[in-house]
Amino acid sequence: MKKFLVGLTISLGAVAMAHAAGDPNAGQAKAQVCAACHGGNGVGIAPTFPNLAGQNASYLAKQIREIRDGVRSVPQMAGMVDHFSDQDALDVAAYFSQLPANLGQADPALAEKGRNLYRAGDLAKGIPACTACHSPTGQGNAPAAYPALSGQHPAYTVTQLKNFRSGERSNDPNNMMRIIANKMSDSEMEAVADFVSGLHGKSE
C-alpha cells in the first residue's frame, strides 16, 4: 500500500506539471490529423472511435505519449502520433479538453443496473464504485489523469473494459482497471458503459 501511494504521488505531480504546459491554440492546428476518426468537434465519427471533446487534458496527453511510445497498442492509430513531441501531445490534449463534451443517451433498460454499479459497485464481487476514480458526475479526476467517462460511446467503453480484462490494454496505474475489469461480466460492462454515456456530467 505504501509503495502504491508513493507511486501515485509521484505520477500525480508529473501529470500536474505537464497539464499546465498545454497550449490549446497551438493544439488546434496539430489536431487536424485527428479529425478523420475523432471528428472535427472531437466526437468520434463511429462508436469504435472515442470522443475526445471535454476529456481531461492530463489523461489525453498520457494516452498520446503512451500510444506513440508503444506502451498502449492501438492499431488504428499506427503512425498517427509517431512524430508528436511531448509538447505536441500536451497541446493537442489541451485543445480537445476545452471543446464541449458529447451528450449521449442512456438506454432506460440498462439504466438501473448501470447506475447501481457506477455509484455503489458490487461488494460481493469486490467491484468498487466507479465514482471513486471517475467522480459521481463522470468527469474523472484530472490531477490523477483518470478519464472522464460522461458522454463516451458505450461500444468504446465496453471495448476498453474488455481489453483491460484480457490484458490487451495494460497502461492503467498499478493494474487498477485490469483488477476491476477481471471481476466484471460482459453484461455489467455494457450496463455501466451505457449509463455513463448518458450521464452528461451531472449526478443522476
CA dist., res. 7 & res. 108, Å (int): 40
Residue the block writes with cell 494516452: 63
pLDDT band at 204; cut points 50, 70, 90: low
Tell me the mean pLDDT in the region 134-160.
97
* Percent over 90 (pLDDT), the chain: 83
pLDDT tens track for 11-22: 444 444 444 589
Q: Is 37 annotated as a binding residue?
A: yes
Q: Is the pLDDT of residue 5 over 60?
A: no
Looking at residue 1, what is its pLDDT? 45
Ordered domains of the chain (ranges, CATH):
2-97 (1.10.760.10), 108-197 (1.10.760.10)
Q: Is 38 annotated as a binding residue?
A: yes
Tell me the mean pLDDT in the region 155-176.
97
Q: What is the pTM of this model?
A: 0.88
Q: Is 134 annotated as a binding residue?
A: yes
Query: Residue 90: which of 68, 71, 110 has the closest Cα?
Result: 68
Residue ranges of alpha helices (H) inside the chain are 2-20, 24-30, 35-38, 57-68, 86-97, 108-120, 131-134, 154-166, 176-181, 186-197
Contact status, residue 198 vs residue 106, Cβ threshold 8 Å? yes
What rounded mean pLDDT belongs to the chain?
Answer: 91
* Percent over 70 (pLDDT), the chain: 88
Looking at residue 4, what is its pLDDT? 41
Q: Is 133 annotated as a binding residue?
A: yes
Q: Is 177 annotated as a binding residue?
A: yes
Listed in sequence order, the residues at least 6 apart from 44 whose beta carbon sits closer than 8 Å to its beta carbon are 37, 38, 50, 51, 52, 153, 156
Q: Is the pLDDT of residue 135 over 70?
A: yes
Looking at residue 200, what is its pLDDT? 75
